[in-house]
Amino acid sequence: MARLEDKRTSVAASPPRVWALLSHRAGEASQILALAEALEWPYERKVMHYRWSAGAIGLIRVSASAGVAARSRAELEPPWPDLLITSGLRNEPVARWIAAQSGGATRVVFIGRTWAPVEHFDLLVTTPQYSVTPAPRVLENSTTLQAVTVEKLKRAEAEWHSRLANLPRPHIGVIVGGNSGPYTLGGNGGRRLAAEVSRYAQKLNGSLLVTTSSRTSKEAVAEIESNLTGNYDFFPWRKNTPNPYFAYLASADELVVTGDSIAMLSEACATCKPVSVYDLGRATLAMRHERGRREKPGDWLRQDDFRLSAMTYWLLMKIGPRRLSRELRIVYERLLAEGRMGWFAEPPPAGPLPPLADVERTVARVSAMMSERHRDRD
């Protein structure tokens, strides 16, 4: 930690101008903000509104601001940032355009996976599911960047204490995602999830703390709420509504996370509590697929909920270019090997676990990059 503090101090006398160019996807936006906050430098949030053509512009891998809607153009004016943090297909051309407008002075940190070659960015912060080729400008972490801290958990737990205090322990936090790539969570899956976690909590004489996310379908939310039994607190996600999510993370004695989101799984692991992944797939399409077993197209008929776009995504992963692939099982295997997660309905890994170091590792890398830029400018 001392080395990290030293690197930050080297630019403390003249902190860099930082822009957080947010993504429209909640998971990507949370990672951008997590890094911006962890760097402890002042930063500006930039929220872009895009034309319909923005996605196509990203796919053709150009440096351009043409996809930005007129009402957001005023956000893209000098002085240009020293550091730009961003993520997402729509933001990729704009980030490169900003760097070009600055005359190459802006350092761009991109989170996730890029469509353009990595050489167009100063640092790519990624995770194993994207299978990015190792390179000097690539930093691969085990988990996504997240803003879970001891202080934030304590504040949330105190804020929501009266709501959760009378629920019998142990508290089992259940973090529910939704449709993602080849995986689907619809009404049938929501019903199965609610029934299984309810039986688990009752077996322990405990309580459930269940929350959904922005990606959870209305059908899944309705079935989960209708089929929860025993002692529980249920909070369906709603936009612009105070959310007890961090309070659930803080109060839970163990956590169950649907396996569709590495971001949610990373936040759960950051608590250093026992974490179990709830498998949304069935048969050879299960998330915990065993090595050597071949996936069969006919197994789509055995899933809880059928979604044509999920099958299409699966086919693209099989026959499409490598950059379309996103294999979540690689992350599961790594976290299983590290003892940071188990599978639901099996004994969770024993704790306590050491804190995640991915955020600190990324901060150190970015701080060193900006210190080097500072020296070069002087």
Q: What is the dihedral of CA 161, 165, 169, 170, to 10 degrees?
A: -10
pTM of the model: 0.88
C-beta contacts of 117-125 below 8 A and 24+ residues apart? 117/61, 120/63, 120/96, 121/95, 121/96, 122/369, 123/365, 123/366, 123/369, 125/35, 125/362, 125/365
Cβ pair 121, 84 in contact under 8 A: no
Indicate the length of the chain as a whole number: 378
- At 13 the pLDDT is 62
Q: Which residues, 6 or more positions from 372, have their beta carbon under 8 angstroms from its beta carbon? A: none
List C-alpha distances in Å: 167 to 36, 70, 208, 250, 251.
36, 51, 9, 14, 11
Mind listing the pLDDT tens digit of every residue in the chain (378 residues)? Answer: 333 333 344 445 689 999 999 998 888 999 999 999 999 999 999 999 999 999 899 988 999 999 999 999 999 999 999 999 999 999 999 999 999 999 999 999 999 999 999 999 999 999 999 989 999 999 999 999 999 999 999 999 999 999 999 999 999 999 999 998 888 999 999 999 999 999 999 999 999 999 999 999 999 999 999 999 999 999 999 988 999 999 999 999 999 999 999 999 999 999 999 999 999 988 777 888 665 566 666 777 678 888 888 788 777 777 766 666 678 888 999 999 999 999 998 887 776 778 899 999 999 999 999 988 766 665
Identify each DSSP E strand in 147-289 by its residue range.
Answer: 171-175, 207-211, 231-235, 254-258, 275-278
- At 35 the pLDDT is 97
How many Cα neighbours within 13 Å face the side chain of 27?
19
Q: Which two tokens stand for residue 44?
A: 């500006």
Helix-strand-coil split of the chain, %, nearest 5: 45, 15, 40
List C-alpha distances in Å: 277 to 119, 228, 350.
35, 18, 15
Identify each DSSP E strand in the chain by its residue range.
Answer: 18-22, 43-47, 83-87, 107-111, 123-126, 138-140, 171-175, 207-211, 231-235, 254-258, 275-278, 342-343
List C-alpha distances in Å: 136 to 5, 51, 359.
23, 34, 18
**Backbone phi, psi, residue 96, to 5°:** -65, -35
The candidate with the shortest Cα–Cα distance to 259, out of 146, 129, 150, 360, is 129
Place of tokens 């960015």: 121
Task: For residues 55 and 326, give the distance between their C-alpha atoms in angstroms, rounded to a whole number.
Answer: 19
